[in-house]
Chains A and B, each alone.
Chain A
Amino acid sequence: MKYLILFISSFFIAPLAEEAHEFHVSKCLVEYKAENAELQISMNIFIDDLELALESRGVQKLFIGTEKEQEDANAFIEKYIDQVFQIEIDGSGIVDPIFLGKEVSDDLTSIWCYMQIPMPQPLQSLKVKNSILLETFDDQKNITSIVGPENKKDSFMSIRGDDVKEVSY
């Protein structure tokens, strides 16, 4: 009898598993292209996570990647990225990247955002702060891959309290 009670009571704790398998990650590629004299940035973010972050900042639901997508969606996304993703080049202050556009992933769950920074001088050092969604989810992880001059590669993972990487060439 007591096992029956135990068995039935486990149905009541089952809803604790509600959040099962939600994972909070984003990835970002920062690539220096000497031949184009620019820094190219592509960033992959889950749409539902991004919308949650924007809503917590008072933005109405944007329906990103659907037919109902708000006209000003890109502007809100760009503004958000500017606030939480910052790049400093050669120690001379934060540079706002030019937002080129976005693309919905094949499985419709995430977007790729494309940005660019003109680089008239060769890249010497780079400081990247990637705190995308870190304030929204305590288990958020952002992986940033940096490809510098001569194809030198560095990667880092941002978590709360540790979201900056500095590279010199």
Chain B
Amino acid sequence: MSIDLRPEALFLGQKRDTLGDIFSIYFNIGFSHIYDMAAIDHILFLVALCALFTVKDWRKLLVLITAFTLGHSITLALAILDIIPINARLVELLIPITILLTAIYNGYTLWKDKWQSRGKSRTQYLMALGFGWIHGMGFSNYLRSTLFPEEKLLGQLFAFNIGIEVGQIIILAKILLLTFIFTQLLKIKRNHWAFTLSGLAFAVSLYLIIDQL
């Protein structure tokens, strides 16, 4: 057995910071749940959601992401508090469907050349909110398998959700950075880049759907 030299181990018995322990554990679980290649489905959804935007559109993107966050936080909490029942298999199937539909919506927008009106559309905000509900149910499946329901449930839920949001912000920043590199530095046309991202999301989500059927 290794010797535990962390400060909290050395000062145990004098200072017991269980609340801090719980926060860091569930923050870590939330963060690593989304900031990981195994979370490819959530990441792809963010890719599809951002595909039409660049750094300059950050205000519109912020509203869109807030809608998604609001959506998934609501269902995550409702599911963990046992207010809504969750069918894990159905949710796992619905998640790639949300990616597919977002990619199709992007393709339609690009094809119809509604480029200028993008972001003004309420459809996209409603989509982000509604699809957020489904992703939140997916997060709840994961959180549930690590929870101790008899203990500070809200604290665990809160820390997990913050972990998810921080992971999400980093992923978004990376997507926008890639968009900047490809469209500004490598001079790829914006609609070509948006089409590429959406096509990637479309292909992978279709694969994920077929894989589950």
Point out the residues of chain B lying under 8 angstroms from A11, CB to CB.
Answer: 203, 206-207
Contacts A10-B199, A145-B151, A154-B16: A46 and B145 contacting too (C-beta < 8 A)?
Answer: yes
Point out the residues of chain B lying under 8 angstroms from A16, CB to CB.
Answer: 40
Q: Tell me if A67 counts as interface (CB < 8 A to partner B).
A: no
A145 to B1, CA, bound (A): 19
B38 CB contact (under 8 Å) in A6, A23, A153: A23
Most chain B CB within 10 A, of A23, A25, A127, A139, is at A23
Point out the residues of chain B lying under 8 angstroms from A39, CB to CB.
Answer: none
Point out the residues of chain A lying under 8 angstroms from B199, CB to CB.
Answer: 3, 6-7, 10
Is A3 in contact with B12, judged by CB distance below 8 angstroms?
no
Q: Tell me if B117 counts as interface (CB < 8 A to partner A).
A: no
A18 to B96, CA, bound (A): 12
Q: Tell me if A27 counts as interface (CB < 8 A to partner B).
A: yes
A19 CB contact (under 8 Å) in B2, B22, B38, B204: B38
Contacts A6-B196, A25-B145: A139 and B4 contacting too (C-beta < 8 A)?
Answer: no
Give B4-35 as 1s and 0s: 1 = Cβ < 8 Å from A's Cβ atoms: 10000100110010100110010011001100
Distance of B13 from chain A, by nearest CB (Å): 4
Q: Tell me if B57 counts as interface (CB < 8 A to partner A).
A: no
Point out the residues of chain A lying under 8 angstroms from B206, CB to CB.
Answer: 11, 14
Distance of A128 from chain B, by nearest CB (Å): 10
Q: A166-B4, A166-B9 are in contact. List 5 more A-B contacts (CB 8 A).
A: A3-B199, A14-B206, A17-B208, A21-B41, A156-B21
Is B1 in contact with A129, judged by CB distance below 8 angstroms?
yes
Is A169 in contact with B38, judged by CB distance below 8 angstroms?
no
Is A17 in contact with B18, judged by CB distance below 8 angstroms?
no
Of residues 3 through 37 on chain A, the ones whose CB sits less than 8 Å from some CB of chain B are 3, 6-7, 10-11, 13-23, 25, 27, 29
Most chain A CB within 10 A, of B22, B39, B199, is at B199
A21 to B151, CA, bound (A): 26
A29 to B147, CA, bound (A): 11
Q: Tell me if B113 counts as interface (CB < 8 A to partner A).
A: no
Is A22 in contact with B18, judged by CB distance below 8 angstroms?
no
A44 to B151, CA, bound (A): 16
Give the 3 A-B CB pairs with smallest separation, nearest first. Answer: A14-B207, A10-B203, A7-B199
A13 to B200, CA, bound (A): 9
> How many A-B residue pairs lie within 8 Å, measured between CB atoms?
110
Q: Tell me if B125 counts as interface (CB < 8 A to partner A).
A: no
A27 to B44, CA, bound (A): 29
Distance of A149 from chain B, by nearest CB (Å): 12
Contacts A14-B204, A15-B207, A46-B145: A164 and B2 contacting too (C-beta < 8 A)?
Answer: yes
Point out the residues of chain A lying under 8 angstroms from B16, CB to CB.
Answer: 152, 154
Is B1 in contact with A23, judged by CB distance below 8 angstroms?
no
Q: Tell me if A83 counts as interface (CB < 8 A to partner B).
A: no
A18 to B204, CA, bound (A): 10
Closest residue of B by beta carbon distance from A141: B29
Q: Tell me if A60 counts as interface (CB < 8 A to partner B).
A: no
Distance of B167 from chain A, by nearest CB (Å): 14
Most chain B CB within 10 A, of A17, A152, A169, is at A17
Is A3 in contact with B195, judged by CB distance below 8 angstroms?
yes
B207 CB contact (under 8 Å) in A7, A17, A21, A156: A17
